[in-house]
Amino acid sequence: MIPSAMSATPQSRIEIDPAVVTAAGDFVVPEPLGFGRCLAPVVFLADYQDGQWGRGRLLPYGPLGLDPAAKVLHYAQVVFEGLKAYHVGGSRPMLFRPEMNWRRMNRSAARMMMPALPRDLFMDGLLAVTACSEPYIPRASGRSLYLRPALFATQPTLDPAPSTTFTFMVVASPSEALASGPLRVVVERTGARAVAGGTGDVKVSGNYGAALHATAVAAQSGFDQPLWLDAISHRYIEELSVMNFFAVVDGALHTPELNGTILPGVTRDSILALARLEGLRVHERLMDVDELLQMIRSGRCTEAFACGTAIIVGSIGLIGEHDGRLCPLPEPEGPHAGRLRERLLGIQEGREPDPFAWTHTVAPLDTSAPDRNG
């Protein structure tokens, strides 16, 4: 299937500050690039008040005027998303499955007592920031423009009640992949990322702040990431801090089933679809960590990998314990992981056919249009 038709430019709906042209023109992408460190010189903002969304604005990047009492600072009423615009294969930049991010953002917003974002407003933000950033979207395979939509509470009162005013923003970062395999992960047997009834299955900023400590402890012991287990029995694998988890057992793909505490990743869903398309057996199930470690030692589990927008797919080289025991994977470079990564990235970058019509081509933004502020 060919990529979806070029999306209409959002120009008639948004205000574009003419200064974005100068800001974009002066911008230089640094080397080494890294992930999320270099920020694109534009920001998209839209405010919500009196029960409705105002017009989106594309502005030069700069500090926000935030009231010290804004509820986001006190009650963490903030949710976000992460997706990428690729500009490698095709003549235009392409977004990957942005509708899924929109739907997930609105599930996160509902969980946090925040207003839903209209689809057009969400897409306008992504399309305007991507189109304006086009000259500095990296063209090398594996690199992209990482897009970060976020929605946060701005009402300046200290009562612990939901805010009545909010801001939606999109910032972006020309980036490399977050990491490449093989990853070293450590089983987190005491801490918990998420509990049933909590916020583990939505993209709420508090989830990430709460995971920082375990990630720092893992890093002190030489690991890249903690491998989170369920919070009740500390027995079943959930995910990594910003990635979903897969293992290859007896030649089939296994991943923890979505149980209400795991974030439903866009990449996870895409890997499952691609694996099924190539005839691989796929199991979404409860995965007992000790059983899996035993299967690694016996050779039944040959590889494991992590996936997510930031890393794409990264093989896992070993699973360790805080007591020093290490369980290396028989196939640390992960042949299945490598193949699925290539397949997925080929589609994302417009180098390979897109059988599911996942990619969304971004039209140019005409910043000279006379009605840009009208």
Ligand X SMILES: Cc1ncc(COP(=O)(O)O)c(C=O)c1O
User: Interface residues with ligand X (CB under 6 A)?
Assistant: 82, 239, 242-244, 263, 265-268, 308-309
Q: Which is nearer to ligand X, 14 or 150 (CB)?
A: 150
**Least CB distance to ligand X at residue 120 (A):** 22
Task: Supply the minimum distance, in Å, between the C-beta of residue 161 and ligand X.
Answer: 28
Q: Which residue number, 93 or 98, has a Cβ lying nearer to ligand X? A: 98
Least distance (Å) from ligand X to the CB of residue 183? Answer: 14
Residue nearest to ligand X (CB): 265
Candidates 225, 195, 181, 215; CA nearest to 315 is 181
Q: Closer CB to ligand X, residue 78 or residue 266?
A: 266
Backbone dihedral angles phi then psi of residue 75, each to the nearest 5 degrees: -120, 10
The residue type found at 242 is: V
Nearer to ligand X, 308 or 350 (CB): 308
CB 301 within 8 A of CB 290: no
Which residues touch 205 (CB under 8 Å, ≥6 apart)? 76, 78, 79, 80, 150
**126 within 8 A of 170, measured Cβ to Cβ:** yes
The Cα 192–Cα 194 span in angstroms is 6
Least distance to ligand X from the beta carbon of 47, Å? 25
Q: What share of the chain is helix, strand, coil (3-state, %, to 5)?
A: 25, 25, 50
Residue number with CB closer to ligand X (59 or 258): 258
Q: For residue 90, which amino acid is it?
A: G
**Closer to ligand X by Cβ: residue 186 or 263:** 263
End-to-end CA distance of the chain: 38
- Type of residue numbered 156: P
Q: How far is the CB of 97 from ligand X (least distance, A)?
A: 9
Give me the least distance between CB of 270 and ligand X, in Å please. Answer: 8
Instruction: State how far the alpha carbon of 303 is from the alpha carbons of 75, 143, 251, 299, 339, in Å.
Output: 41, 25, 9, 9, 13
Shorter beta-carbon distance to ligand X: residue 100 or 362: 100
d(CA 262, CA 257): 8
> Residue 145 Cβ, how far from ligand X at the closest point, in Å?
15
Eight-class DSSP state of 204: B
Instruction: Give the residue carrying structure tokens 């990449």.
Output: 267
